[in-house]
Structure 1
Amino acid sequence: MRKVSGIFLVGLCLGAIGAVVVTASHGDAAATQPIAVAETATTPSATSAPAPEPGPPATSATPTSSAKAEPVEVDAGKLDKIMRDGTASAVVFDRDSGKTTVSVRADRAYTSASIVKLLIALSVFEQGGGPVADVQRMLSRSDDDLASRSWSAYGGPAIVTRWVKKLGLTGTRPPEDAGRWGDTRITAADVVKIYRYLLERRSTPIMNALRGATERGSDGFRQYFGIPDAAKGQEWLVKQGWSCCRPTRMLHTSGVVGNTIVVVLSEHPAKVDYATGSRRVTELVGTLLGEGEGEDVGEGGR
C-alpha cells in the first residue's frame, strides 16, 4: 500500500507540473496573437450613379487626436499673402482646450454654396424623415439634386432660420431667392458652431458621411482641396463648398482634423480658376495646421 501511494503521489506531482507548463505555453501563445479589428464601412445611398470613390476609413463618430501640434499664429496678412486675390476667413477651434486658436475675419459673410447642406441634413434627421442613405450621399458626394429635394421638403429658407435660432448663429441668413439654397449666407464662426453641435450630439450618420467624402463630387468636381489635401496622414472629415460666378468664385473647406475644427471660407475673382483657387485654399489650411509657413502643399491625395 505504501509503495502504491508513493507512486500515486509522484504521478500526481508530475501531472500538476505538466498542467502548469501547458497552461503557461497557451498563455504565451495567446499573448502573441494579433487581435482582429473589424472595419466599419460607410455606404452612401444606392442609386444608378457610379459607385462612390473610397473615402477615409470610418472610425468612431468623434475624431480623436494622437498628437497635438503647437498653436499656429495666423493673421489676416498671412492669409492675404497666400490668397493673392480675393478674401479668406479662417477659424480653428481646439476641442481639447475648448478655445479658438485662430480667428481671422470670423464674422465676414460668404455665399455658402454646399456648406448649407449641413443644416439641410440636420433638419432631415431631426424631423425623423428621409432615407439615411440619400442624406449621406448628399453630404459625401455633395449631391445637389438630393439637396434640392430635401430643401423643398423640409421648409426651404425656414431650415436656415430654425437653425439660426437653435444654435445662436449670428451671421447666417437664408437666401433672398427661396429656391437657391446655395445662396445662403454664412460665416466661419457660425460654421464652427454647427460642427460643435454635430460633435456634441454625436450625429453618427452625418459624421460618417463627412468622413466618407469622395474625392469627386456628384458633378465631377475634385473636392479634396483644403483639409483633405493638407491633412495628409491624419484622420479628417469634411464638408466642402464651391460655386461660380455670381460674380465671384467661392471655395470653402470645413471639417475636423483629429480633435480640431477647421473652417476656411474663401472668395476669389472669377479670373482665378478652380485649380488655382483650390491650391490656395489647401495652402491656407496647411499653414493653419502648421505644415509650413505659406508653402504650397499641393494637391496630393490623403
Structure 2
Amino acid sequence: MTPSLIPFLAAARRRPPWRSARATVLGAVLLALVFVAALPTAAAPSPGPSASTVRAHVPSGVTAGVAVFDRRSGSFTEQVNPALPFRSASVVKLLITLDLLGDRGPDALEALDRARVDAMLRASDDDAASHFWTVNGAGAIIDRMVRKLGLTDTARPPATHPGYWGYTALSARDTVRIYRYLLDAAPAAVRDYVMGGLRSSTRCADDGYDQHFGIPGAFERPWAVKQGWSGFRSGGCTTPAAATPAARTGGPAVAGVDLGRPALHSTGTVGPDDRAIVAVLTLHPDGTSYGKAYTDLGRLTRSLNVPGAARPAGTWIGTWGTDVNVRENPTTTSRNLTVLPAGAEVLVSCQKRGEEVSIPPYTNDWWAYLPQYGGYVTNIYLSAAENQVPGLGQC
C-alpha cells in the first residue's frame, strides 16, 4: 500500500459511530480520489541525449567555462559558459608553439629552440614561453593565431599588461578549436610533435606545481594535456620558483577578463584516437589554496560526459597537512617520489600495514596506495575517522 495512504485509512477506521451519513459519503469520495491520484500515470517520453545537455557539476564559488567535443559524432556533449573569456595562463603555450612551428615540423627548429618547446609542452616551462613571446612579436602572436584558426573569443593581453602572455583571453570553445586545428588541419609533423609533447606531460612542472589535476586525475590514459594555473602561492611537488608573469595576479577584470581570482585550467584530449577534446577553465574565490582548487577542478572534470574515457578504479579521499610525502614503499625511509598539494583530494586504491608513524596526537601503521602517484602515504594524512579506512581493501 502507498505509505502516504496509511494515516488516512487509519483515521477512517477510527471514525466515531455518530458521524452522519453525509460525512461518511463525503469521506468515501475523498478516499476514492486519493486512490485515483496514487495510481501510476503513463510516463512522458524521456528526451534523447542532446549536445546542449549540461551534466557538469560546478562546485560552489567556482566560475567555470566548459566544453567537451566528441570528434566521432562531431558534437558537444558538455557546454557551460563556452564563450566566457578567461585569462589563459599556460594554455596559451599551445598558440605560442603553433605560431612558432607554422607549417614546419620540429626538425626545422634549432636544437636550442626545440629543447625550449619540449620543456614548454611537457613541463610548462615559463622561461621558454617568455623567450618566444619576446622574439616573435608578443601580442602579434595571438593576432596571427586568431586569424589562422578562426578564434572568436581569444585576444592578446590588455595594453596594461603587454608582457604577460598568461593574460591572453581564451574561452573553452576556442580551446576546442585549437585542438581541432591541431588534430585535423595541422601538418602531420606538427600534430605528432605537439601531441607527443602533451602526452608526455610531467607530473611536476618546472615551477614546482603538480600539473596532473583535472583530466589526468579523472581519466585513465590515453590522454594528452596542456594545463594552466595562475594566482597561487604553492602547488606541491617542490618549493615554487619565483613568480613569473603567468603566475602573478593583476587585480580586477580588464576588457572582460578577470585578472585577479586564482585560475586553474585543464585542457586536452581523452581516449583512443584522441576521441574527446576537453576544455575546463575555472576561476576560484580569492585566497583559495592550490589544493582546494585542485580538488574542485577534479570533481568538476569527473562529472563530465567524456566519450571514450576510461575512469580509474579507487576511492577519492581528502587529505590534510602540508608537504605530505608520497613514498615508494610504506616506510618513511623509502624513496620520496613527490609531495601532495596541501589538502588535495587523491585517488586511493588499497591500503596496507607498514612502518608505524607518529605525528602527535596521531599514531598509525596503515598506509594508502595512490595509483596515480605510484606510491604510498601514511593514513594519518587521509581525511578518515579511523586508522584503517573503512571499506577500502588491502593491498
* 1:178 has 2:162 as partner: yes
- Residue number in structure 2 paired with 1:132: 114
Aligned partners of 1:110 and 1:187 also within 8 Å: yes
Name which of 84, 89, 93 aligns with 2:60.
84
Partner residue in 2 for 1:239 = 226
CA distance in 2, matches of 1:71, 1:235: 26
Query: Quick check: 2:264–2:281 contact (8 Å CA) kept in 1?
Result: yes
* Amino acid corresponding to residue 296 of structure 2 in structure 1: R
Conserved? CA contact 1:111–1:182, under 8 Å: yes
1:219 aligns with 2:203: no
Deviation, 1:217, is 0.5
The aligned counterpart of 2:5 is none
Q: Which residue of 2 aligns with 1:199?
A: 183
For 1:159 and 1:122, the matched residues in 2 are separated by 9
User: 1:106 and 2:119 equivalent?
Assistant: no
**Secondary structure of the structure 1 residue equivalent to 2:263:** strand
Structure 1 regions of 5+ residues with no counterpart?
1-69
Q: Deviations over 1:201-224 (max 9, x none)?
A: 241111111000000100010000
Alpha-carbon shift at residue 79 of structure 1 (Å): 3.2
Q: Comparing both structures, which one devotes a greater share of its residues to strand?
A: 2
**Structure-1 separation of matches of 2:218 and 2:143:** 33
Q: Is the 8 A contact 1:253 1:265 kept in 2?
A: yes
- Structure 2: how far apart are the matches of 1:119 and 1:90? 19
Residue of structure 1 in register with 2:277 after alignment: 261
Q: Is the 8 A contact 2:52 2:76 kept in 1?
A: no
Q: Does 1:116 align with 2:163?
A: no
CA apart distance, 1:133: 2.5
How far is the alpha carbon of 1:237 from its aligned partner?
Answer: 0.3
SS of 2:57's equivalent in the other structure is helix
Secondary structure of residue in 2 paired with 1:238: strand
**Residues 74 and 270 (structure 1), Cα distance of their counterparts in 2 relative to 1, 3 Å cut:** farther
- Provide the rounded CA distance (Å) in 1 between the counterparts of 2:79 and 2:156: 24
C-alpha separation in 2, matches of 1:279 and 1:71: 28
CA contact (8 A) 1:217 1:223 kept: yes
Partner residue of 2:294?
Answer: 278
Report the 3-state secondary structure (helix = DSSP H, G, I; strand = E; otherwise coil) of the residue aligned with 2:268: strand
1:75 aligns with 2:54: yes
SS of residue paired to 1:190: helix
Cα separation, 2, equivalents of 1:95 and 1:129:
30
2-structure distance, mates of 1:147, 1:184: 13
Partner of 2:197: 209
Equivalences for residues 57-72 of structure 1 within 5 A: none
Q: CA deviation at 1:98?
A: 1.1
In the alignment, does 2:212 pair up with 1:230?
Answer: no
Match of 2:128 in 1: 146
Secondary structure at the aligned position of 2:162 is classed as coil
Matched, 1:156 2:138: yes
1:79 partner amino acid: H
Aligned identity (percent) is 39
Following TM superposition, by how much is the alpha carbon of 1:178 offset from its aligned partner in structure 2, in angstroms?
Answer: 1.8
What is the Cα-based RMSD across aligned positions, in Å? Answer: 2.3
C-alpha distance in structure 1 between counterparts of 2:134 and 2:215, whole Å:
30
8 Å CA contact 1:141–1:217 kept in 2: the answer is yes
For 2:52 and 2:346, how far apart are their aligned partners in 1?
Answer: 24
Structure 2 residue identity aligned to 1:210: L
CA displacement at 1:72 relative to structure 2: 9.3
SS at match of 1:277: helix
Checking the alignment, whether the CA contact within 8 Å between 1:74 and 1:288 is kept in structure 2 is no
1:174 Cα offset (Å): 0.2
Size of the alignment, in residue pairs?
227
Q: Which one has more relative contact order, counting CA pairs under 8 Å at least 6 apart?
A: 1
The match for 2:265 among 252, 256, 264 is 252
**1:74 Cα deviation (Å)?**
5.7
Q: Conserved in 2, the CA contact under 8 Å of 1:72 and 1:288?
A: no
Q: Measure how far apart 1:75 and its partner are.
A: 2.9
Secondary structure at the counterpart of residue 346 of structure 2: coil
Aligned equivalents of 2:50 and 2:213: distance in 1?
A: 22
**TM-score, normalised with respect to structure 1:** 0.70
